[in-house]
Chains A and B, each alone.
Chain A
Amino acid sequence: MKKVTFAAFVAFWSSVLTTLALARMSPPEPVTAGQRAEFVYTLQQVAGHASEASCWLAIEGKVYDVTSYLPRHPAPQTVLLRWCGKEATEGMRTKGYGAEHTPAAWGLLDEFLIGTLAPES
């Protein structure tokens, strides 16, 4: 057991350091966000997509269609479903218990951008 745990210990740090070093050396990723930002939706339009079949989220002035992402979200689906069709900035910023989503999660969100939220009149 001693050999196995020590081998795992060394392999762990090797993997962590390799990942961090590669990420540090790789060129910055191209920014794809904002390409579809010319579409403008109202909160009422967003509210029309409040189900598993079509789930839109309004987050920090932008609108996302995360329908295709629903089955991939790590939390049980009910956690994400209750934000569908709503202003979901709070959910994204707090996960419901005060913890911010990771930069990786924010980066992933850009893939689902469909427009911006119309300012409330």
Chain B
Amino acid sequence: MTRTLHRAVRQRRLNWLAWVVALLPLLAALPFAGRAALHEPAAMLNWLGRLAGISALSFLLVAAILSCRVPGFDRPFGGLTKLWRTHHLLGATAFLFALLHPLLLSLAAGGASLGAAADTLLPPAGDRGSWLGWIALLAMMGFLAPSFAFFGEPRYQRWHSLHRLAAVAVLAALVHTLLFSRTIPEPWNTGIWFVLATAAVASVAWRLVFSRRTSRLRYRVERVARPASSVVELTLRPEGPHLAYLPGQFVYLTPYDESLAAGNREEHPYTLSSAPAEPCLRVVIKDIGAASRAIQSIQSGSEVRVEGPYGDFFPRRDVGSSELWIAGGIGITPFLGRLRQLAGARETLDAQLIYCVQDESRAHFADELARLVASVPGMRLTIHYFCREGPLTRRFLQQHCPDFAERRAYLCGPEPLQRIARDLLSAAAVGRQQIVTEEFSLL
């Protein structure tokens, strides 16, 4: 128990570390404000405008560093989805700083004249440094518009391809900042940007070049099982080295099947449902978008590439505590993987699984779950049917798991169910560190 509690605390610290690193250039610049910046309004606006500019770049670079997706790198941050939540918030902060930067500089110039304010926003054609700033800002608007749903919820692939504009934004912003470098004195200025930019370039290079060569493993689809009309479970046989992973982790899977209506050669994240000791990988895929719909008809024998593993759902070692698992719909997948592992290794675990589904037809893997639970001493399974019982309630939890508030809780499922479950657990005084969640929304 102590070990897992420590782990949860450390995870939170590492996410904070990203924010601290992103704030470093701002902190380095603060002591060099100068007298005027503290006493004259125009000079202060100019100073704030420049601070906003360097913060926009540093937040952008740290967000880029966090996007590297090196397998294992995500675990100290609490898994890839939590790491991406931080990446997303850092990107949003960078964008807000980048919008403030020219406005504050223009306001500062407005102290001289309205023309000077306008000239700051629309610099002469020869002012390459300022125009690079505009290129960076417009590229940010382009690649962040889908992330923040400026023009409606985006399709995954459009979001994915537009996000490549981030490289343009980072490069233009970097050159722009180095051309105007006058806020942080040397050698700090060059030192800070060199370290952050090198880490960001290494991170993006890993993602775009090296990860494709070194960490994508070749598998072949051996079997396509259909537990329901909109769900498939693919069994993948390794063609070379086999992936080492923990139950409940997920992978990025790229299918190579020309007959697919969508998503051929596109990578998408799917959760592993197999036990790590199995000779093959198994992934469960529910039809929720164009690519996951098309892959329902993938042909046996076709090649796929697998990159991973990612995620940090279950603890690395069993710590002997009792557990409460709450799964919703396809969110059963990580629990299925853990159960298969426990059953295969003939382990025992004091855990109550509450599997929330709409009705009997959506209770995927119900028969296998019942068999697995019966073979793991200490495990219990209760299925909660929404159509009969409505949303999950405290009464239901108490009825089927009287000591639920003393257990470490693992939640995986759609957002509304996670919210209800978190509220019920909080109301029963279960601490936040005792609740582990896995989210699948990537935006």
Known: A15-B103, A71-B34, A99-B129. A108 touches B121 (CB 8 A): no
Interface window among A21-29, A37-45, A50-58: A21-29
Q: Which of B92, B122, B182 contacts A4 (CB 8 A)?
A: B92
Contact B115 A29 (CB under 8 A): yes
Write out, one digit per residue, whether chain B residues 83-118 have a CB within 8 A of any chain A CB (1) or not (0).
000001100100110010011001001101111111
Least CB distance from B82 to A in Å reads 15
Contact B128 A99 (CB under 8 A): yes
Which chain B residue has the least Cβ–Cβ distance from A12? B99
21 sampled A-B residue pairs with Cβ under 8 A = A1-B148, A2-B148, A4-B96, A5-B92, A6-B150, A9-B141, A16-B121, A19-B114, A20-B118, A71-B36, A72-B43, A77-B34, A100-B126, A102-B116, A102-B119, A103-B115, A104-B112, A104-B113, A104-B120, A107-B116, A108-B112
Which interface class (under 10, 10 to 19, 20 to 34, 35 or more) fits A?
20 to 34
Which residue of A1, A11, A71, A104 contacts B119 across the interface (Cβ within 8 Å)?
A104
Is there a chain A Cβ closer than 8 Å to B367's Cβ?
A: no
Decide if B99 touches A8 in the complex (CB within 8 Å).
yes
Bound complex: CA of A6 vs CA of B92, how far in Å?
Answer: 10
Closest chain A residue to B99, Cβ basis = A12
Contact yes or no, A5 B113, CB < 8 A: no
CA distance A103 to B92 in the complex (A): 32
Least distance between B178 CB and chain A CB atoms (Å): 9
A1 touches B88 (CB 8 A): yes
Q: Using a CB–CB distance below 8 Å, which chain B residues touch chain A?
A: 32, 34-36, 40, 42-43, 46, 50, 88-89, 92, 95-96, 99, 102-103, 106, 109-110, 112-124, 126-130, 141, 144, 148-150, 179, 182-183, 185
Cross-chain contact of A12 among B92, B103, B114, B182 (Cβ < 8 A):
B103
Judge whether B124 and A19 touch: CB under 8 Å.
Answer: no
Partner of A9, one of B36, B106, B150: B150
Question: Which residue in A29, A76, A102, A107 is a CB contact (below 8 Å) of B127?
Answer: A102
How many residue pairs between the two chains, A and B, have CB atoms under 8 Å in the bound complex? Answer: 102
CA gap between A75 and B110 in the complex, in Å: 19
Most buried by B among A74, A76, A102: A74
How far apart are the CA atoms of A15 and B118 in the complex, in Å? 11
Indicate if the CB atoms of A6 and B34 lie closer than 8 Å. no
Give bound CA distance, A76 to B31, whole Å. Answer: 12
The chain B residue with its CB closest to the CB of A105 is B116
Q: Are A76 and B35 in contact (CB under 8 A)?
A: no
A residues near B (Cβ < 8 Å) are 1-2, 4-6, 8-9, 11-12, 15-16, 19-20, 22-24, 26, 29, 71-72, 74-77, 79, 97, 99-100, 102-104, 107-108
Residue numbers in B under 8 Å from A26 (CB-CB): 114-115
A16-B46 contact given A23-B117, A107-B112, A108-B116, CB 8 Å threshold: no
A76–B124 contact, CB under 8 A?
no
Give the docked Cα–Cα distance between A100 and B148 (Å): 36
Contact check, A100 vs B127: say whether CB atoms are below 8 A apart: yes
Residue of B with least CB distance to A71? B36
CA gap between A100 and B92 in the complex, in Å: 32
In the bound complex, residues from chain B placing their C-beta under 8 Å from that of A29 are 113, 115
